A and B are shown apart, each in its own frame.
Chain A
Amino acid sequence: MAKDDKLILGGREFTSRFILGSGKYNPELINAAVEHAGTQMITLAVRRANSKGDGNIIEHIPKGVTLLPNTSGARNAEEAVRIARLARELGCGDFVKIEVIHDSKYLLPDNYETIKATEILAKEGFLVMPYMYPDLNAARALKDAGAVSVMPLAAPIGSNKGLATKEFIQILVDEIDLPIIVDAGIGRPSQACEAMEMGAAAIMANTAIATAGDIPAMAGAFKAAIEAGRAAYLSGLGRVVQRGAVASSPLTGFLEE
């Protein structure tokens, strides 16, 4: 793969295209993600960040890994903004993943409130990465509001159902000039690979690895799958770009005659 193939988020460069999610955290998972999946960005639920004992995730995150604090627990834009500011006070850096969830059953994101929060936080200098339901209009609004990426869900969070929203994610990949990071629902490496082949810029996963029988091995499998998908995308699969000269033009050749 091209050496200069970097993921750029808010002007920062990453060589890894795997982001570790935060729902089902434990120290073993973090070590596996960093060592075996090469992850350079780990999300962090602010609501867990200031906890003592095993719950304090910050203590387990190695230096050099970028923190992506999330606003889980927010039910509307206002709460998301407050949690994001709290993350900044806790020294979590400028990135923030907006999660606004107003549904305790499916945990589906509220795009409307997410756009409002993105607008406010981008103005305050946050590098905003919104978790969203893959809707083209909402994605455009998020871009206009100053998001540095868009994070559409592949399937309900924790469901391991794979690319249930595939067609709509493809539309975002094709239409939105921001890195599209597929978040939630990716249950196996093959699904991560497929999303990368489609042109996703990165994959975020958690449950799939956290609940695997062999966590380090699964982390390694995800790394390989994401790299394979990326290489396939760059090599031209899935998009008709620069395929080289066509030998003949049976249908339109007459125009040259």
Chain B
Amino acid sequence: MEKRTNHMEYMPGMEIIESDIADKVIAAMESYDYTQYKASDVLRALSKESLYPEDFAALLSPAAEPFLEKMAARAREETRKHFGNAVYLFTPIYISNYCENYCIYCGFNCKNKIKRAKLDFEAIEREMAAIAKTGLEEILILTGESRKMSDVKYIGEACRIAHKYFKNVGIEVYPMNTDEYAYLHECGADFVTVFQETYNSDKYEKLHLAGHKRVFPYRINAQERAIRGGMRGVAFAALLGLDDFRKDAFATGMHAYLIQRKYPHAEISFSCPRLRPIVNNDKINPKDVHERQLLQIMCAYRIFMPFAGMTISTRERAEFRDHVIGLAATKISAGVSTGIGEHSNDEAQGDDQFEIADGRNVDEVFARIREMGLQPVMNDYVLV
């Protein structure tokens, strides 16, 4: 077996920024002992108008589980106060599934024998046009993490094409340097999502066996570099089920909280992904993160940072998704394919990243949002 590199050490070319946020997040997570909270702590947190990290910690603890209904009521109240009835729609587009990383839970990992593909610009344009026809105005561009097969220029060109068809362009690609984020911003992207996967660096090391993704500190500072590069908004997530989900959710919230305090103008949002089965491994599952726990986490994020956006993934079944919009989530994907080239072809050219659990198209999701008494919104953004 090849020798594993030091995951805390930067690789050549990776920008190092002065920031104490990562240290603060890790310290907060390490000292978080969720067994010490009692019902009274949870109720005190819920009685407060504005919550501190300590209150957020209580809401994520097992002591809060019996109060999930109360938490949901408060979460819904906050969501309505800050977002009204609006529910935003978007879809991800996967333009390449080549990957240089070996992340054992991910369908795209470089050791997984899947059908690989990378769309050329013509195919990207075809896909974008097909998606735009569904009425969507917001798109999230994704790639596998290969700087070789999907370099920054390639992603930038994809952003330019996307900008012709969509009002709002986001990217969820490998972490990059500030100047590279600035370049993608120039190309029309304004939102950056980076999943930290897990904030436990020891566990992180065991899950990310090879590739640039192994470098834990470079990834955790990605949002900050993106904001410095001029991006309007950044999204945070832990992939729930990889490690101790309560600690990971706490770290995710603290990460977002500290970034917002340092960059008050930045728009903050959360994603709440759970582990899913992948091609060649249908055994992968979210372990102890059941829907009840997932909802607890979503409500805790919402009550702690009521102004933050929150996306609900197609990793979850339709009924769960329909119930959490308007309650805690503010954004929902529709017409999703996690394979390559499936929007404009009957069959994907490249395999999926994970199995989705909600295959509804845009019209179906749109109609459902209305049925729920909420308002589907395609765009609430202007590029300036």
Contacts and interface: CB of A to CB of B under 8 A. Distances in A.
Contact of B380 (A45, A52, A79, A102): A45
A146 B225 CA distance: 39
A107 interface: yes
A242 interface: no
B183 interface: no
Contacts of B135: 52-53
B307 A24 contact: no
Contact of B265 (A25, A55, A103, A211): A103
A212 to B, nearest CB: 11
Q: Chain B's interface: helix, strand, loop or mixed, by majority?
A: loop
A51 to B, nearest CB: 4
Contacts of B370: 54
A207 B232 CA distance: 25
B32 interface: no
Interface stretch (B77-85, B148-156, B169-177, B343-351): B77-85
Nearest to B168: A47
A88 to B, nearest CB: 14
B264 A102 contact: yes
Contacts of B375: 25-26, 54
A104 B266 contact: yes
A203 interface: no
B382 interface: yes
Given A24-B84, A25-B84, A159-B81, A47 B379 contact: yes
Interface in A148-196: 158-160
Contacts of B182: none
B199 interface: no
Interface in B21-74: none
Contacts of A51: 137, 167, 377-380
B260 A24 contact: no
A53 B378 contact: yes
B378 A73 contact: no
Nearest to B233: A104
Contact of A48 (B83, B266, B379): B379
B301 interface: no
A55 B379 contact: yes
A105 to B, nearest CB: 6
Listed from nearest, the 5 A-B pairs whose CB atoms lie closest are: A24-B84, A47-B382, A79-B384, A51-B379, A55-B377
Interface of B: 80-86, 135, 137, 167, 232, 260, 264-268, 305, 307, 366, 370, 375-382, 384
